[in-house]
């Protein structure tokens, strides 16, 4: 029975690996398209659907493993955490899709200053990558660092909002920038949620 449980856990890990790759692709594609003023909605949409399908596979397998083998302790925490991480990975894709739609909603944004978006996106993309790495390696130190970086992202978001108002940016540029920053902030939040699951997997403690 232990061998069969291990096979199932390995399958879960592989599914999450696939989801991680696709979610990172979604975010990278959406950000690059926004910064370069390109339309990429359909490509991102296709990948978000792929994430949704993979999430259902994760959930179905996790439930099957819990019912069939009744895992305990670290195994149970890992399996239940996989279901939560799968949700966060889907949210990465969803926010990427939201970013991809902005050009369709606002039209040509080629003349907008996207410097603040590029800087924020670089930090958030690294957070996404680090959250996945922390989960896969059960690295509590890396997970804790995500919380500190998230504080910097929140601060950047507030400072950029003030800058947009003070600089009197063109309305279309201002609105599109605010939306992208909001979606990036939410991606950062979900990266932190994944980081918080690392502590739970390792010690059984939930974030307060």
Percentage of residues in the chain having pLDDT higher than 90? 90
Residue 208 in any domain: the answer is no
Residue 39, classed as helix, strand or coil, is: coil
What was the pLDDT predicted at 206?
79
Mutual orientation of helices 2-35 and 41-69 as an angle, nearest 10°? 160
Residue 112 in any domain: the answer is yes
Structural domain harbouring 153:
2-203
What was the pLDDT predicted at 200?
93
Residue 94 in any domain: the answer is yes
The answer to whether 113 touches 40, Cβ cutoff 8 Å, is no
When pLDDT is averaged across residues 145-153 and rounded to a whole number, the result is: 92
What was the pLDDT predicted at 205?
81
Q: Please state, in angstroms and rounded to a whole number, the distance separating the CA atoms of residues 62 and 198.
A: 17
Residue 208 has pLDDT above 80, yes or no: no
Q: In whole angstroms, how far apart are CA 201 and each of 64, 72, 138?
A: 19, 12, 8
- Domain tally, the chain: 1
pLDDT, tens only, 77-129: 999 999 999 999 999 999 999 999 999 999 999 999 999 999 999 999 999 99
Output the domain CATH number for residue 55.
Answer: 1.20.58.220
The answer to whether 84 touches 193, Cβ cutoff 8 Å, is yes
What was the pLDDT predicted at 106?
93
What was the pLDDT predicted at 147?
86
Residue 157 in any domain: the answer is yes
What was the pLDDT predicted at 207?
67
């Amino acid at each position: 029975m232990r061998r069969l449980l291990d096979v199932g856990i390995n399958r879960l890990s592989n599914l999450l690996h696939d989801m991680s790759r696709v979610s990172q692709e979604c975010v990278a594609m959406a950000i690059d398209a926004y910064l370069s003023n390109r339309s990429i909605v359909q490509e991102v949409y296709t990948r978000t659907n792929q994430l949704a399908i993979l999430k259902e596979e994760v959930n179905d397998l996790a439930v099957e493993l819990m019912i069939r083998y009744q895992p305990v302790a670290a195994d149970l925490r890992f399996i239940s955490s996989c279901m939560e991480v799968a949700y966060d990975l889907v949210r990465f894709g969803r926010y990427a899709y939201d970013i991809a739609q902005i050009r369709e909603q606002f039209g040509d944004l080629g003349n907008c200053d996207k410097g603040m978006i590029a800087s924020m996106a670089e930090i958030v993309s690294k957070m996404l990558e680090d959250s996945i790495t922390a989960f896969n390696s059960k690295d509590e130190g890396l997970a804790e660092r995500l919380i500190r970086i998230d504080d910097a992202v929140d601060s950047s978001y507030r400072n950029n909002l003030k800058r947009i108002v003070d600089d009197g940016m063109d309305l279309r540029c201002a609105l599109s920038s605010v939306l992208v920053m909001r979606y990036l902030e939410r991606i950062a939040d979900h990266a932190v949620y994944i980081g918080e699951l690392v502590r739970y997997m390792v010690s059984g403690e939930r974030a307060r």
